[in-house]
Amino acid sequence: MNKTANIMSKSRSNEEGFTLIEIAIVGAILSVAAALSVPNFLQMYAKHELYQATTSLYNRLILARSSAISRNVMIAATPASAPTGYDTVAFTAPLGTETFPQNVRFITPLPVNPLGFTPRGLSTTPLAPQTVQLQSTRDPKLIYTISLMPSGKVTWCRQAINPCVINERS
């Protein structure tokens, strides 16, 4: 019996594992890494939200232009900024309303005239580009711009410039 107890104690002393101090150090390192990554994650999420809202409005404006041409009617889009709740863009029938996430807002002042397209696909404001700027409330430095040119061309960019003009290279 003495030999069996001796063998058992030797096998237990050869077992490997982590000490409590080693586990605590790994936990501390993971906590510091997580704390450092949270601000980057929040900024990434703000960019994603603003990108989604901007591209959604951009695509809806492209659809409005196509609808104006194919239906031979004028289609307008009226941006509305609500003090509480969600900002929206109301399109004439049949396109409905585009609603933004709560953390995406218009930068005021909004265009005086509604954004719109004539039956030929031209802007309803023929003399100047119309611009709408969207801003993230999570990161107020993030501003994207959508511009409607007199020719009916819709562009957007990741800057706060008026109008948003994309340089085309030949």
Which tokens belong to 9? Answer: 């104690």
Q: Express each pLDDT in 54-99 by its tens digit.
A: 999 999 999 999 999 999 999 998 888 777 678 888 888 888 888 8
Q: Where are the domains of the chain?
A: 20-157
Fold for the domain defined by 20-157: minor pseudopilin epsh fold (3.55.40)
Which tokens belong to 73? Answer: 């009617």
Residue 123 burial by Cβ neighbours in a 10 Å radius (0-12, 13-18, 19+): buried
pLDDT at 4 over 60: no
Q: What is the pTM of this model?
A: 0.75
Of the listed ranges 10-14, 96-100, 124-128, the least confidently predicted one is 10-14
Q: Express each pLDDT in 128-142 by its tens digit.
A: 888 899 999 988 899
Rounded alpha-carbon distances, angstroms, from residue 162 to 56, 123, 135, 156: 20, 16, 14, 10
Of the listed ranges 8-12, 75-79, 155-159, 166-170, the least confidently predicted one is 166-170
Q: What is the pLDDT confidence band of residue 166, given thresholds at 50, 70 and 90?
A: low
Which tokens belong to 160? Answer: 């706060």
Q: What pLDDT does residue 7 have?
A: 57
> How many whole angstroms separate alpha carbon 110 and alpha carbon 39?
31
Q: Three-class SS of residue 98?
A: strand
